[in-house]
Structure 1
């Protein structure tokens, strides 16, 4: 569920939604979602001073808490 949420939000923000990919990696602390976007869209995902990335992480945190899990987001280059 959280993977689909992050993918949907990211695709709605970028110019090249076909390049968006989210991979789920299990960790001993929980789950890590690795978000891959086109190099040209990296700035859109991070946002000015990281505000967009922080907002995506806040949404992810709320959704994962509701699901009873801990999920982190890593934005990959």
Structure 2
């Protein structure tokens, strides 16, 4: 993966690797002045895979996102939408 990847592309890449239906992964970006909100949509059947047991997978994705966004001096938040 190239070094100059956007936060949206990063989350999309991770989500597509986790799910059974990578074609149905959709990430939209809502950018504010200091905060970026990434909205992740996946197939209903893949929702559990993205969230993980007790939310561990989504927590790990958020940790990666926070690490990447801190380099850009922005705050990023990941929301999973049904």
Answer whether TM exceeds 0.5 for this pair: yes
Is 1:2 the counterpart of 2:2? The answer is no
- 1:55: which partner in 2? 60
- State the distance in 2 between where 1:31 and 1:62 align: 13
Unaligned runs of 5+ in 1: none
Q: Structure 2: where are the runs of 5+ without partners?
A: 1-5
Displacement of 1:28: 5.5
Q: What CA distance in whole angstroms lies between the structure 2 residues aligned with 1:34 and 1:19?
A: 13
RMSD (Å) for aligned C-alpha atoms: 1.0
Between Structure 1 and Structure 2, the one with more helix by share is 1
Superposition deviation, residue 30 in structure 1: 1.0
Following superposition, the deviation at residue 31 of structure 1 comes to: 1.0
Partner of 1:68 in structure 2?
73
Structure 1 residue ranges, 4+ long, deviating more than 4 angstroms after superposition: none
For this pair of structures, how many residues does the alignment match?
Answer: 77
